[in-house]
A and B are shown apart, each in its own frame.
Chain A
């Protein structure tokens, strides 16, 4: 468990809803849920995960901190926005799910080997190197995410697609050698660092204060 997590537990001991409202993006909407269930029924992947959004929101209000933050639910969201479109109270459900995922990640509570969490990390690392996503490298990394053998199999299967993309100029094989960067890479990295510092300071302030 990270230090930040311990601090947060201390600070919001009795009220996980307050913790979510203060620290999770769009978290202040959670209390508006009226438990109608239209989001859960509308989720195309709903049957594949442990807790649909409606249940997650109720768990937050019931103070089930560990179960919520270590759930795989928010990692399974594909951002189809069906829930947002149909929610009778216009809760930004997709955004709340992503907010919860980000917060769980920050606290170090992401379930181990959760595939979308791993891919998200891969995407971020790829993006940070050059300030833009190197699609060739990212694609190959995704193929080989679950081992070398499976990677080779997938790569062979997608061979034709890759050739066609190269033919039509949609993919450059030279990108494998590092790839091109944004114009001002150090400027980009400074922007990201600054944002990171601000966010860290904000969270640290929330975590450092003792008692509600």
Chain B
């Protein structure tokens, strides 16, 4: 049975992405007791699935490593992975949280040696790579996963493969009798850092994401560019593995559209500009990139990055929201539309089309275990009525990593103020 030591001075952080990790660590480092609950088997969230950050084009692994080290060193932080908050009762300063922990079937003895992975053969869609690749049934979610502990896919339980994995483990780490657990513990304040998810691209019917394999989303393109990704970092297209040299980026895919997401997702322009550099770096003079946009929103200091990408000869900018995509006989996606600078009709053929997909909140109103005030876009409002529940990062708005981390630090301070009140400290 998983034990969690907590009081009404404990801060519960829901979600272990970059925002949740930041909020949890900032609070724990001031001496507060923090419980961090993460649905995935590892911390880091969607940031762990990025190849590079904009605008510096440095690697997220760097910052994640620092945060992982902070998490390992801090005795005030308790991390629960494969766990979800299913209930939250009480009031500001005095809540009781109910958490469901799914069985990992691998215990703390695991050394991440990988023998269980070699012992099993079944393969499943790799969630870490947005389903672009396969992984084994016994797996480490990604190379730098924290905790560095394998996971046994529940679909293997009851099969001979599960027994093979168990037999292969020299450390007695495979525990096939693990059961789902539901635990209750008290907490004084809650930070909701459940983040975002890419908008369902198939709903943008004219772009044919569900019909054409060579129309992909920006988050998938990140995985293609990553040397740890399904293609080993080679920019090749899904249908036939052909090198993707002629690439289109379509901005506002789902965002700023009353048929889809009302809001501007804020990150997609910079994400596409960043991804332009991936293509230019990969193919040099042979790269041929087109960015279709309504208007480019590279705000304040990002303007410099925009100017830099604009200076890349192989990158063209076309002011137009394309009307539709069709595929030709060779499987090349053809982008149709009319541009705004001259009203010229175009039908441009590409190797690969990347939809700069919008951000939507990953938790909808009905799925919150507690009453919460959301805005019309579905993000959490800063509202008195939310009591001791505060949003951090993308649960509050569409934010880039930098702003999400700043926001999470603010959320940590709000939570600390509440548990100080609960402890009877003058504030």
Measured CB to CB, the residues of A under 8 A from B are 34-42, 46-47, 51-52, 54-55, 85-86, 88-90
Per the CB 8 Å criterion, the residue count for chain B at the interface is 21
Residue numbers in A under 8 Å from B256 (CB-CB): 88
* B337 contact from A41, A55, A85, A90, Cβ within 8 A: A41
List 25 A-B pairs, Cβ < 8 Å.
A36-B252, A36-B294, A36-B320, A36-B340, A37-B338, A37-B340, A38-B322, A38-B337, A40-B343, A40-B345, A41-B320, A41-B322, A41-B336, A41-B345, A42-B323, A42-B324, A52-B343, A54-B338, A54-B340, A86-B206, A86-B259, A88-B256, A88-B258, A88-B321, A90-B258
Whether A38 pairs with B323 at a CB distance below 8 angstroms is: yes
With A47-B345, A55-B343 in contact, do A37 and B320 touch (Cβ < 8 Å)? yes
Asked if B339 is an interface residue, CB under 8 A from chain A, the answer is: yes
A86 to B320, CA, bound (A): 14
Q: In whole angstroms, how far apart are the Cα atoms of A55 and B260 in the complex? A: 24
Q: Which residue of B lies closest to A58 (CB)?
A: B340
Among B252, B321, B339, residue most surrounded by chain A Cβ atoms (within 10 Å):
B321
A-B CB proximity, top 3 nearest: A41-B323, A41-B337, A36-B321
- Give chain B residues whose Cβ lies under 8 Å from the Cβ of A36: 252, 294, 320-321, 340
> Which residue of the partner chain B has the closest CB to A36?
B321
Contacts of A41 in B (CB 8 A): 320-324, 336-338, 345
CB distance from B86 to the nearest CB of A (A): 37
- Provide the bound-state CA to CA distance between A12 and B345, in Å: 33
Please name all residues of chain A whose beta carbon is closer than 8 Å to the beta carbon of B259 when the two chains form the complex: 85-86, 88, 90
Tell me if B127 is interfacial: C-beta within 8 Å of chain A: no
| B297 nearest CB across to chain A (Å) | 13
Could you tell me if A35 and B340 are in contact, using CB atoms closer than 8 angstroms? yes
Least CB separation from A90: chain B residue: B258
Given that A36-B321, A38-B323, A47-B345 are contacting pairs, would A88 and B338 also be in contact in the complex, using a CB cutoff of 8 Å?
Answer: no
Q: Tell me, in angstroms, the Cα distance from A42 to B326 when the chains sit together.
A: 13
Partner of A46, one of B252, B319, B338: B338
- Nearest Cβ distance between residue B206 and chain A, in whole angstroms? 7
Within 8 Å CB of B371, what residues of A?
none
Known A86-B323, A88-B321: A34·B343 in contact at CB below 8 Å: no
| A89 adjacent to B258 (CB under 8 Å) | yes
| B324–A37 CB distance below 8 A | no
Nearest to A53 among chain B residues (CB) is B338
Q: How far apart sit A37 and B321, CA to CA, in the bound complex (Å)?
A: 6
Smallest Cβ-Cβ distance to A88: which chain B residue: B257
Interface readout for B252-265 with A: 1 if CB under 8 Å, 0 if not?
10001111100000
Structural contact, B345 and A37, CB atoms closer than 8 A: no
Chain A: minimal CB distance from B248 (Å): 14
Report chain B residues within 8 Å CB of A85: 259
Query: Which single residue of chain A is at the shortest CB-CB distance from B251?
Result: A36
User: How far, in angstroms, from A51 to B345 measured CA to CA in the complex?
Assistant: 11
Q: How far is the CA of A97 from the CA of B222 in the complex (A)?
A: 42
- CA gap between A86 and B206 in the complex, in Å: 9
| Chain B 224-267 interface mask (CB, 8 Å, partner A; 1/0) | 00000000000000000000000000001000111110000000
| A35, B339: Cα distance in complex, Å | 9
Min distance, Cβ A188 to any Cβ of chain B, angstroms: 39
With a cutoff of 8 Å between Cβ atoms, the chain A residues found around residue B257 in the complex are 88
Contact between B343 and A54, CB atoms less than 8 A apart: yes
Q: With A38-B321, A41-B337 given, can you name 4 additional A-B contacts, CB distance below 8 Å?
A: A36-B340, A41-B345, A86-B323, A90-B259
Q: Which residues of B contact A46 (CB under 8 A)?
A: 338, 345
**Chain B positions within 8 Å of A34 at CB level:** 294
Distance in Å: Cβ of B378 to nearest Cβ of chain A: 18
- Segment 297-348 of B: residues with Cβ below 8 Å from A: 319-324, 336-340, 343, 345
Nearest chain B CB to A31 CB, angstrom units = 16
Which A-chain residue is minimally distant from B260 (CB atoms)? Answer: A88
Question: In the assembly, what is the distance between CA of A114 and CA of B260, in Å?
Answer: 38
Closest residue of chain A to B323, judged by CB? A41
B336 / chain A contacts, CB cutoff of 8 Å: 41
Counting chain B CB atoms within 10 Å of each CB, which of A36, A42, A85, A88 scores highest? A36
Q: Which residues of the partner chain A approach B320 to less than 8 Å between Cβ atoms?
A: 36-37, 41
Please report the C-alpha to C-alpha distance between residue A41 and residue B321 in the assembled complex, in whole angstroms: 9
- Cβ of B343: which chain A residues have Cβ within 8 Å of it? 40, 51-52, 54-55
